[in-house]
Structure 1
Amino acid sequence: MFDTMTFTKILGGFAGAFLVFLLGKFVAETLYHSEVAGHDGEVVQGYLIDTGSEDSGEEEAEGPTFEEVFEAADAGRGERVYNQCRACHALEDGANGAGPYLYNVVGRDVGTAEGYAYSGALSEAADVWTPENLSAFLEDPQGYAPGTSMGYSGLGDVEDRANLIAYLDTIGD
């Protein structure tokens, strides 16, 4: 049933099919993924599909600024947003946790919470916790003050930040 010639034909068929597959893969990579040197020596993609998204010339519509949102901020909603902060921060004067206390934080000098050891990165970023500085910090703590010990990833929604800062502004003197 299986003689040497039949076995050789089957093995040759598989090897031929494999070689055709590899050749097809090589041709596809050459067409779509290769890089070719352009006229000025810069490397350009071998096959480029123009989507037109880069040269649209239109700027994306930006939402309202923080100042506009802060004027209409709701401290009651900010209290609900504060629940995200509660794990590390306390509102009582002098009650530090993993983070410094937030009593009277709006308008306070940066890095002046008594009894809390700051990382030093905050004092390089700002002098006073104005609503604008707090908003920028809460949006992206690591981006605003690289090296800060605050491990929070940030609060992206401008309304949530404004409401939280309005709530924190009611806590204190």
Structure 2
Amino acid sequence: MFDTMTSTKVLGAVCGSLLVFLLGNWAADGLYSMEGGHGGEETQAYVIPVEGAATEATAEAGPSFDEVYASADAAAGEKVFAKCKACHKLDGADATGPHLNGVVGRAKASSAGFGYSDALVAMAAESWEPAKLDAFLTSPKGYAPGTKMSFAGLPKVEDRANVIKYLSTLQ
């Protein structure tokens, strides 16, 4: 059934197919390589601007939190607080998150009956001063690694200052 000539043709076909596959792979790597082809240096082809994304340069160039907080608007903060209402209440009852009435100046992790994360319990000796609330609202997971708060944060310093000013009016 299989003689020497047929076996040679089958072996030749397999080797030829492998050769075509390897050459195709080599050509594709050359065309679509992600490695820098100019001395190993990689350059970004273009930048896509994202609305609302803060860069280090714009963050440093802007006013400080204290300056913004001095002129913050509690009414505007009430509008921004709408993002917080899903988890936080202002009537003294805890929800997914602890209640926030009287939070400005209150000790951290001090709402009785709420199960705080270990990160915030470790900070219980400190109080929520406006600057510390600003740092927390910028990036909750960056301020208190391991926090249960899943909110990403408020990127605009004006929004943070307005919310904190609004919260300071609620005692």
Do both proteins adopt the same fold according to a TM-score greater than 0.5, normalized to the shorter chain?
A: yes
Could you say if the C-alpha distance between residues 131 and 34 of structure 1 is closer, same or farther in structure 2, counting changes exceeding 3 Å? closer
Secondary structure, counterpart of 2:122 in structure 1: helix
Secondary structure, counterpart of 1:60 in structure 2: helix
CA distance in 1, matches of 2:31, 2:85: 56
Contact 2:108-2:123 at 8 Å conserved across structures: no
Report deviation, 1:26. 2.0
Structure 2: gaps spanning 5 or more residues: 1-15, 45-55
Aligned to 1:143: 142
Higher relative contact order at CA 8 Å, sep ≥6: structure 1 or structure 2?
A: 2
Give the aligned residue type for 2:120.
Answer: L
Give the aligned residue type for 1:117.
Answer: G
Could you say if the C-alpha distance between residues 31 and 125 of structure 1 is closer, same or farther in structure 2, counting changes exceeding 3 Å? farther
Could you say if the C-alpha distance between residues 160 and 46 of structure 1 is closer, same or farther in structure 2, counting changes exceeding 3 Å? same
Aligned to 1:164: 163
Report deviation, 1:154. 1.1
Instruction: Say if 2:91 is the partner of 1:60.
Output: no
CA distance in 2, matches of 1:80, 1:34: 46
How does the TM-score come out when normalised to structure 2?
Answer: 0.69
Contact 1:78-1:163 at 8 Å conserved across structures: yes
Give the aligned residue type for 2:57.
Answer: E
Q: How do 1:74-85 and structure 2 match up within 5 A?
A: 74-85=73-84
Backbone CA RMSD of aligned residues? 3.2
How does the TM-score come out when normalised to structure 1?
Answer: 0.68
Q: How do 1:1-173 and structure 2 match up within 5 A?
A: 19=20, 23=23, 26=26, 29=29, 33=33, 45-47=36-38, 48=40, 60-61=57-58, 62=60, 63-93=62-92, 95-125=93-123, 127-172=126-171
CA distance in 1, matches of 2:132, 2:122: 12
Greater Cα offset, 72-81 or 148-157: 148-157
Corresponding residue pairs, total: 143
Report deviation, 1:33. 4.2
Report deviation, 1:76. 0.3
Structure 1: gaps spanning 5 or more residues: 1-14, 36-44, 53-58
Give the aligned residue type for 1:72.
Answer: S
CA distance in 1, matches of 2:57, 2:159: 22
CA shift digits 1:135-172 (9 cap, x unpaired): 11111111111111111111111110000000000000
